[in-house]
């Protein structure tokens, strides 16, 4: 009989998520569990809401953490804003745009997809044409940071088109919240969801979400019940609001952890945090390109780097050796990129000069190429000058 694995190995998490979790956040998880209606816990919920409002850059009162991962946040936004038969437009240029489309269809929407090749972004012209073809559209959904391809989607111009057409603007910010510029109010985002395990460097298990007054008005005007009882915000909002009406038992200790993670974000400062992610991305990029590796998207995320697999090299072997010999986890390609790409995440606490230097040195060793660390070092030297 094989002995049970009592403790997981210590990894350097540089995949598409989760990211490294600081000891301070892990310690918060271990604090005493309170009841979900305990006055101290309710105070923590209110504090968490305030922190999330600052990170989302919104004054939306309906800002909270859904019990579940980012996928639960996606479902919550969709099933509360969409009724059967509603016309919706969803942008698909990777796995997570496709997943949003699937969830919309399961909610009974009549979905019209705007598609772009993997690794590319959606243009304002495509959005304008889609609304011209579907003028009755009620909800428009798009992914801000497409984790499967590393593509960074611009939102501001598209938001204006969406609101001019009278639709609600729904955004997936799972791989951008806390790591990339994201301004919910300034950009006119009506509903936005994220996850804890990416740039917030908290264990997976909660999904920060926020809803505008326009989105709340749409919920209040529903003529059918929300498809999901568990994710029905007409009830959840009463628990997070003044009435504190019991709906379900919240994940108490995960709330502690997310609250601590948000405090760390705000202590660092959003602008400083965004700049840190950008600096480490540029250093990683310089190092990878110095050893002949090329990025896939033209508009690359700074939080998730999608790179063509080294020509003539088994990318699975590279990932396996990184894990077994160096304790570094990176991601494989998905969908059309399976076997053709690697994905290196630099999110939250994982985004550091130490980790950039470590993964580049490991790749130099595995690929028997040189110059990556030197190129990254030059970037850091320039940023410090």
Rounded to the nearest integer, the mean pLDDT of the chain is 97
Delimiting residues of CATH 3.90.1150.10 domain(s) in the chain: 270-384
Provide the CATH number for the domain formed by 270-384 in this structure.
3.90.1150.10
23-267 belongs to which CATH class? alpha beta
Contacts of residue 51, Cβ cutoff 8 Å, sequence gap at least 6: 259, 262, 263, 265, 266
pLDDT band at 3 (very low <50, low <70, confident <90, very high): confident
User: Nearest to residue 110, comparing CAs of 130, 92, 129, 86?
Assistant: 86
Q: What pLDDT does residue 385 have?
A: 63
Reported as a single tens digit per residue, the pLDDT across 165-215 is 999 999 999 999 999 999 999 999 999 999 999 999 999 999 999 999 999
pLDDT band at 2 (very low <50, low <70, confident <90, very high): confident
Q: What pLDDT does residue 383 have?
A: 83
- pLDDT at 13 exceeding the cut of 70: yes
Reported as a single tens digit per residue, the pLDDT across 252-294 is 999 999 999 999 999 999 999 999 999 999 999 999 999 999 9
Residue 184 sits at the vertex; the CA angle it makes with 225 and 87, to the nearest 5 degrees, is 40
The answer to whether 287 touches 369, Cβ cutoff 8 Å, is: no
Q: What pLDDT does residue 376 have?
A: 98
Confirm whether pTM is higher than 0.75: yes
Q: What pLDDT does residue 223 have?
A: 96
Q: What pLDDT does residue 177 have?
A: 98
80 burial class (0-12, 13-18, 19+ CB within 10 angstroms)? buried
pLDDT band at 154 (very low <50, low <70, confident <90, very high): very high
Mean pLDDT, range 130-151, rounded to an integer: 98
Mean pLDDT, range 66-94, rounded to an integer: 98
Reported as a single tens digit per residue, the pLDDT across 291-348 is 999 999 999 999 999 999 998 999 999 999 999 999 999 999 999 999 999 999 999 9
Q: How many residues make up the chain in this entry?
A: 385
pLDDT band at 1 (very low <50, low <70, confident <90, very high): low
Mean pLDDT, range 221-227, rounded to an integer: 96
Six-digit token string for 301 = 């995320």
Mean pLDDT, range 5-22, rounded to an integer: 94
Peptide bond into 18 cis (omega under 30): yes
């Amino acid at each position: 009989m094989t002995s049970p694995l009592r403790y997981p190995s210590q990894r350097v998490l540089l995949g598409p998520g989760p990211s490294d979790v600081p000891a301070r956040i892990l310690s918060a998880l271990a604090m005493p569990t309170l009841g979900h209606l305990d006055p101290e816990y309710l105070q923590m919920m209110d504090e968490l809401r305030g922190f999330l409002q600052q990170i989302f850059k919104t004054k939306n009162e309906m800002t909270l953490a859904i019990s579940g991962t980012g996928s639960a946040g996606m479902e919550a936004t969709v099933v509360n804003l969409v009724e059967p038969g509603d016309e919706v437009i969803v942008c698909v240029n990777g796995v997570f745009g496709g997943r949003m489309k699937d969830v919309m269809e399961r909610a009974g929407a009549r979905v019209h997809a705007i598609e772009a090749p993997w690794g590319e972004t959606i243009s304002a012209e495509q959005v304008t044409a889609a609304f011209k073809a579907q003028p009755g559209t009620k909800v428009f959904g798009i992914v801000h940071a497409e984790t499967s391809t590393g593509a960074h989607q611009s939102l501001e111009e598209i938001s204006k088109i969406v609101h001019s057409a009278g639709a609600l603007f729904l955004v997936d910010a799972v791989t951008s919240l806390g790591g990339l510029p994201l301004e919910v109010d300034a950009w006119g985002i009506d509903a936005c969801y994220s996850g804890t395990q990416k740039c917030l460097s908290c264990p997976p298990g909660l999904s920060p979400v926020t809803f505008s007054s326009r989105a709340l008005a749409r919920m209040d005007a529903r003529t059918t019940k929300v498809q999901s009882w568990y994710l029905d915000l007409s009830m959840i909002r009463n628990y997070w609001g003044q009435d504190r009406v019991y709906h379900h038992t919240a994940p108490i200790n995960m709330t502690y952890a997310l609250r601590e993670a948000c405090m760390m974000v705000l202590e660092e400062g959003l602008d400083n945090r965004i700049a840190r992610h950008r600096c480490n991305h540029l250093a990683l990029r310089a190092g990878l390109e110095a050893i002949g590796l090329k990025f896939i998207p033209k508009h690359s995320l700074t939080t998730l780097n999608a790179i063509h697999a080294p020509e003539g090299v088994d990318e699975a072997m590279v990932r396996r050796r990184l894990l077994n010999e160096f304790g570094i986890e990176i991601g494989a390609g998905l969908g059309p990129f399976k076997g053709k790409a690697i994905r290196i995440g630099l999110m939250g606490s994982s985004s550091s000069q130490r980790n950039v230097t470590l993964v580049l040195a490991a790749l130099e060793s595995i690929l028997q190429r040189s110059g990556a660390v030197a190129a990254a070092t030059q970037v850091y030297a320039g940023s410090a000058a």
